[in-house]
Structure 1
Amino acid sequence: MKNWIIKEEWFNNQEITANENRFLCGNGYLGIRGALEEFQKEKLPAVNLSGIYDRVGDGWREPLNAPNPLYTRMKVDGEYYFLPEKEPVSHTQELDFKHGLVRRHTTFHTKRGSVTVESEHFASMADCHLIGMRYIVMADFHADLEIQTGIDGDVWDIHGPHYDDVRFEQKDKRILVDAITHEKKEHVCVAEQYRTQAPHEHKTKEEERRSLHRICVVTDINKPVVIEKMAAVYTTNDCENPQSASEELVAESMELGYEKQRKRHIDCWEKLWSTSKVEIEGDEEAEKELNYSLYHLLSIAPYHAESQSIPARGLSGQTYKGAVFWDTEMFMLDFFINTQPKVARTLLKYRIDTLAGAEQKAKSYGYSGAFYAWESQEGGYDACSDYNVTDVFTNRPMRTYFKDKQIHISGAVVYGLIHYVNSTGDTSILYEGGAKTILSCAMFYDSRMIERVHSGVYELCDVIGPDEYHERVNNNSYTNRLAGFVLTEAVRILSQSREDEKLAEALGEADCEYWEKRFKEDTEKLVQKKPGTNGVIEQFDGYFQLEDTTVDTVRSRLLNEKEYWGGAYGVASDTQIIKQADVVTQLVMFPEDFSRKVAWDNWNYYEPRTEHGSSLSACMYGILACNCENPDAAYPFFRKSAAADLKGGGKEWAGNVYIGGTHPAAAGGAYMTAIKGFAGITMEDGQIKAHPHLPDGWEKMRFSIFYQGERYEICVTANGTEIKSMGHYKISGHCGDF
């Protein structure tokens, strides 16, 4: 790929938050929003941390934003020059997404001449706790320059403030901060240190929740003043003494130097891309959009952990409470299984290790087995509120049922586990809790079914499918099919345990013979919807009796553009207009169930009735169109998914609450559309097969896949496919050891 740079050529005050998402960098442990160094909390900068949460009062629990060690402002001749307060002569901001490097170049005109600021920063892929920054100032006159740089502890929070106490300490050219959380008194510690070769005077400056170096220099004409900084972040989740750990890492990093740390970081990115990039000949724009999407997935993968997942908004802030949704298993997992199988294992281990939380949730509703959290935080705690939407007319919270009724989440966990085992051949995860997880999810569906008197069939009633606009429906086709899949896999696992002692041991004291018989009966009696005479599968009982209208008609009924379309009184609730792919998602997941004609009949029926109110929707229509040999119909859906974070345009605010951020599920969906859809990659009889459906103008696709203990390089053209084994691997390291 030729162009790995995205760039904004001018400063636009209206694009600040969107650019902070576009220019995000991260390493799985932390994500740094692409804010300019001078921004304070009202501009929403953040160093967002993974896996550590806090709650204040009745607000939602959300992940922590660390004190910001990149904070830097500049004075020239005693006057501040920073955006947006001062109008620049020129300004560019760019991201090198091949190497995770964020840069800016800004020129101001002062009373005595021009001053230019250049900067670069990165979240180190070589050490997840480390952040590097280089800040350069150059003037075309002898400027009296003061650079103020340090740590800003006055952080942006959505439902905070989360730090009851922020304690600073200065040691010469090093600043330390210990921030103590409200709920559990966790410690978030940040250390930073700078270096410059320029002759300067060093002073300090203390502000409320902010500690700064004052670096005072008289510049030479057109000679740069270069400041290099390293910062480290540790919490009590990481070690007993995070303050000492952060201080020690900064000292070691400064000794090694910025350039060497930068090279270590770049080398890690090169290794990641060696198995992750997708090359497309004949469509440079689509190639760039897709790989930019993959950059975001690589930036938020938990390389540092053995058991952790990815929040729905990645590491772009506190939106959606930093919670893990079904997005991970259904939309992101394919990418990691194919390119970073160790990461895929880590994501699934998170679900295994939160099984107790899922079982506790099921018990709280009176069910058996495992009912996974809709919005999962640490330990499987369900952060989803009973009142997730605010009525725009009364400003009162509205009762929603996402937490209670979206029971398909447990099926997504099992689907991900089985997909991982089938693709990697790594059955050890079953012995490490995976088999027990499958069994427990099957027990949940078994306990959740009802049998109408004398009916002879089992039903799953009072549920919500992927289409959240229709709540509390009966026999959602997607949910029932996924539950049937879980029960079938549980039967297979139980049967296999009779000959596999390790598997039997992993299942614990379960009465395998009893459950195998019971689950078989469940699968035989559970309602599974069939196509009607027109080939269309009814999304749920009574769906076809709802008003059949258009998306535009329903939109025209809104009295307020921020109204929620679903729920009891939403404008879509009594219509066939749906939020996102539902039956279509089922047909993508289980293509063997129905003919290509049936699939295409459903695509044509449901797509005009889909509002695509979720970034998860477009990719499913794209994949199904490819499966139906219509890549040109798939193409705009692919581009929509791939460009979700590059072009923006999604909802960023709900009233005064920020709901923006990155869209990793859309990124994963774009990857699936490219690989499963356009390249037509399937796994058949233990082998990789390709059934290409390349869009018009695409000449060739090249990419790598890990499968069953080997890495393959694949080249797909309209005329044929070359699949070449590159050797065996084991699931360790960033992308396997060869």
Structure 2
Amino acid sequence: MKTPTHTMTDPAWTLNAEDWNPDAITEHGNRFLLGNGHMGYRGTLEEFGPDERVGVLLPGVFDQVGDAWREPVNAPNGLHTRVRLNGRWLDPLEMTPIAHRQTLDLRGALHRRETQYQLDGVTVTVAAERFLSAHEVHLMAMRYTVAVDGPAEVTLQTGIDPAIWDLNGPHLPHLEASHAGDCILLRGDTAEAGHRVAVAQVACLSGDVAETPETVKDSRRSWTLQSDGALQLELQTFCAVYHSVEHRTGPVDQAANAHVQRAAARGYEAVRQDHLDTWEARWQQADVQIEGDTEAQKALRYSLYQLLSAAPFHAESLSIPARALSGQVYKGAVFWDTEIFMLPFFLATFPELARNLLRYRVHALPGAQAKAREYGYAGAFYAWESQDAGHEACTLFNVTDVFTGRPTRTYFRDKQIHISADIAWAFWRYVQVTGDLAFLWDGGWQVMLECARFFFSYAHLKSDQSHYVLLDVTGPDEYHERVHNNAYTNYMVAAALQSLLTATGRLEASDPQRFAQLLETCDASPEEIERLRDFSARLYCPTPDPETGVIEQFDGYLQLENCSLEALKSRLLDPHEYLGGGSGLATTTQILKQADVVLLLALMRDAFSVAIKRANWAFYEPRTEHGSSLSACAYGLSALDTGNVDYAYEYFLKTATIDLTGKSKQFVGPLYIGGTHPAANGGAWMVATEGFAGIRLREDGVHCQPHLPTHWQAISFSVCWRGQRLDLSMTRDGLTATAAEDNAQPIPFFVCGVTLKCLPGRPVTVPLG
């Protein structure tokens, strides 16, 4: 699919914030975020510091200070730059600009700002463009210009800001500045593990500078000029950020220094073009074009931008945290969000990146095994909040009682056993779509086995030996903890077990001798596989009520109080009360925090009839608060499966615009909990392509059953199946599927009951309606 060209002001590719609003600083920090997988740079202005929540996040570099929460480290800001005019620093917090604009170019992942001041009869305009290189992930660069239209003394200062915003720091308590030629270097070690972080900067000033000397002090440099009339300055800044967690081939400070020197020698335009070319290639594969709906187009494209910005294309030991690269909230941990809500996008567009995300879980297996042992179980109990090496970062007390101020015990860490099933589910989905058995040989099968071992050790066999049950668990709905036989959990565990058994048969059939060695390596046996087969056959999964069609969310759920969400919230004594937990208002009612049974239906779309889906959507929708960003997309997908396109569109917009509207919660009291929502971003892609366009990537090929909104004229996008690319374009009247010319094999394509084969380079058109 060819992505259309755009201009720098194209509204379909551009986010703008006009005028200056100091109350929007934190919100804009999230909205105008830059990222390249290696680091994230919040969308703040260049002159800002820790009070404005400037953050250069380094995912995968964790640190803990004292008893505070362990979290990822923010690096010193190597693009910190400001201007002084006649002795006064230009700062929109101190003097109101006469004009201001902040822009994010989604196509090129470029952040721009332009701010204009009037001071002492002189107008000064500050403009900047910056990016985090997608081509060289350690590199960030900026072009910063200053224009003065009258006589004034102008000081331009840039450098590496040693003041770092941390939620639970300081993580780099001792920073050391040094200079080598044109390069300024700031380095420090994390407090807990001594990981070295090094930031190097080179800045090149041009314009009306004559013989202006440069002054260097600590980690900053400055130039002072006297303007007799008009003055034009341009500063090109290059910054490299390295850390020892990832770079092990030599000192990180030397690597940062050498890299930034190379970039400066090439110049801003050259490194910028490499960055733009990389993004262009990614958009060619990932973009979704919607005709007839400007709002949906921008919201979906922004969602894809956020996913691509957070994606670790460069590493297989990283995944995507629950708040992406927008900050340290949720401890920078990886949740089950990644496998369930983000992986489908990458699996369909960048399967090699999907493999990287799953490889993170292979690397995290020792941590999951350690957690299982901690609670007395076998196998792998994956973390609810997973940090490096699978370390469980979730505490036992995650909520504070608003009335007593005391921490409240929660059961996210020790009872959300579905995490291991979600991961095994994702592993098998990857293999089904890609056919990559090598992934199973190289650790994937072992992870699936260890998850099955965990569930077998966790399950209870009924006294009559009839079936196994899963007791004392917490499902996706966090308001109801420690329940028995949560439907989502039981079905996902059953799917994980069946996937393991199918994978076992595939590997054994493809290479019996190698599989025998794999069994030995994993300390497994054919007898154990048969025990797991019996466990799978006898695991209890709640069935729909024969009269209503409703699947009970967990044992006893239907005996809870049936009240409306409005009635429940009328009982609040404090607007910040937590509705779940042992004494939460929702605990004894049927009110849910988020999709639970409906998420099950959305994931296992072929396992339930339309009538069952319709009954459960109608039952659970009015009972769901949607207090989680994971919820709306599940209801959108399920609505489409029941033929309700209007409801689906409503939920699609809710999930696609979550980081654009600014309505998401940023604070709980003084505690900052803001950031971006990559799971919702992934959910938006799922509703648009798997829902409205009706695309499903299955083991036997690509299936399609469109349900386009009435006002959409067309939707176009690409998917990958078994390494082969398929470009799709559809209207309400018909669709065209074109297999890429360089595909090596035909793609089986099933659309509205018609079976086709898409041959390389040959478009196939199918009428709809």
Shorter-chain-normalised TM-score: which range?
A: over 0.9
**How far apart are the structure 1 equivalents of 2:741 and 2:314?**
25
- Selected match of 2:212 from 201, 206, 212: 201
Q: Is 1:715 aligned with 2:757? A: no
Say whether the 8 Å CA contact 2:71–2:328 is kept in structure 1: yes
Could you tell me which residue of structure 2 aligns to residue 505 of structure 1?
A: 517
Q: Is 1:398 aligned with 2:411? A: no
Could you tell me which residue of structure 1 aligns to residue 236 of structure 2?
A: 228
Could you tell me which residue of structure 1 aligns to residue 161 of structure 2?
A: 152
Alignment of structure 1 residues 496-535 onto 2, 5 Å: 496-499=506-509, 500-501=511-512, 502-507=514-519, 508-532=521-545, 533-535=547-549
Distance 1:222 1:512, change over 3 A: farther
Say whether the 8 Å CA contact 1:703–1:714 is kept in structure 2: yes
**How far apart are the structure 2 equivalents of 1:728 and 1:668?**
28
SS in 1 for 2:321: coil
**How far apart are the structure 2 equivalents of 1:186 and 1:375?**
21
TM-score, structure 1 length as denominator?
A: 0.96
Unpaired runs of 5+ in structure 1?
731-737
Q: Is 1:276 aligned with 2:289? A: no
- Cα shift readout 1:539-561 (whole Å, capped 9, x = no counterpart): 00010011111112212222222
**How far apart are the structure 2 equivalents of 1:296 and 1:252?**
29
- Cα shift readout 1:250-309 (whole Å, capped 9, x = no counterpart): 100000001111111111110000000000111121011101110000001001102221
**How far apart are the structure 1 equivalents of 2:20 and 2:566?**
35
Deviation, 1:330, is 0.2
- Selected match of 1:653 from 648, 661, 667: 667
Letter in 2 for 1:265: H
Letter in 1 for 2:142: M
Q: Is 1:184 aligned with 2:193? A: yes
- Selected match of 1:547 from 543, 550, 561: 561
Say whether the 8 Å CA contact 2:432–2:698 is kept in structure 1: no
Deviation, 1:685, is 5.9
- Selected match of 2:459 from 438, 449, 456: 449
Q: Is 1:134 aligned with 2:143? A: yes
**How far apart are the structure 2 equivalents of 1:550 and 1:241?**
61
- Selected match of 2:477 from 441, 463, 467: 467
Say whether the 8 Å CA contact 1:619–1:672 is kept in structure 2: yes
Could you tell me which residue of structure 1 aligns to residue 752 of structure 2?
A: none
Unpaired runs of 5+ in structure 2?
5-9, 745-760, 762-769
SS in 1 for 2:117: strand
Distance 1:698 1:102, change over 3 A: same
Q: Is 1:576 aligned with 2:590? A: yes
Deviation, 1:455, is 5.6
TM-score, structure 2 length as denominator?
A: 0.93
- Selected match of 2:579 from 565, 568, 572: 565
Deviation, 1:57, is 0.3
**How far apart are the structure 2 equivalents of 1:453 and 1:690?**
46
Q: Is 1:213 aligned with 2:227? A: no
Could you tell me which residue of structure 2 aligns to residue 4 of structure 1?
A: 13
Distance 1:202 1:179, change over 3 A: farther
Could you tell me which residue of structure 1 aligns to residue 53 of structure 2?
A: 44
Alignment of structure 1 residues 316-335 onto 2, 5 Å: 316-335=326-345
Q: Is 1:438 aligned with 2:448? A: yes
Q: Is 1:634 aligned with 2:648? A: yes
Distance 1:684 1:72, change over 3 A: closer
Q: Is 1:65 aligned with 2:40? A: no
**How far apart are the structure 2 equivalents of 1:22 and 1:156?**
18
**How far apart are the structure 1 equivalents of 2:686 and 2:230?**
50
Q: Percent identity of the aligned residues? A: 44
**How far apart are the structure 2 equivalents of 1:604 and 1:658?**
35
SS in 1 for 2:658: coil
SS in 1 for 2:660: coil
SS in 2 for 1:185: coil
Moved more, 195-204 or 633-642: 195-204
**How far apart are the structure 2 equivalents of 1:222 and 1:603?**
66
Deviation, 1:630, is 1.6
Say whether the 8 Å CA contact 2:433–2:699 is kept in structure 1: no
- Cα shift readout 1:517-543 (whole Å, capped 9, x = no counterpart): 212221222111111121111000010
**How far apart are the structure 1 equivalents of 2:435 and 2:738?**
19
Q: Is 1:313 aligned with 2:323? A: yes
- Kindly report the root-mean-square deviation, in angstroms, between the aligned alpha carbons of the 2 structures: 1.5
**How far apart are the structure 1 equivalents of 2:162 and 2:32?**
22
- Cα shift readout 1:405-437 (whole Å, capped 9, x = no counterpart): 000000111111111111112111001000111
Say whether the 8 Å CA contact 1:497–1:504 is kept in structure 2: no
**How far apart are the structure 2 equivalents of 1:79 and 1:45?**
22
**How far apart are the structure 2 equivalents of 1:729 and 1:137?**
50
- Selected match of 2:493 from 448, 473, 483: 483
Could you tell me which residue of structure 2 aligns to residue 166 of structure 1?
A: 175
Distance 1:221 1:515, change over 3 A: farther
Deviation, 1:364, is 1.1
- Cα shift readout 1:174-220 (whole Å, capped 9, x = no counterpart): 210012111011111000011112325344464xxx72111112346
Could you tell me which residue of structure 2 aligns to residue 734 of structure 1?
A: none
Count of aligned positions: 728
SS in 2 for 1:69: strand
Deviation, 1:23, is 0.3
SS in 1 for 2:198: strand
- Cα shift readout 1:27-81 (whole Å, capped 9, x = no counterpart): 0000000010111101100000111100000000000000001111210011111
Deviation, 1:666, is 0.3
Say whether the 8 Å CA contact 1:448–1:460 is kept in structure 2: yes
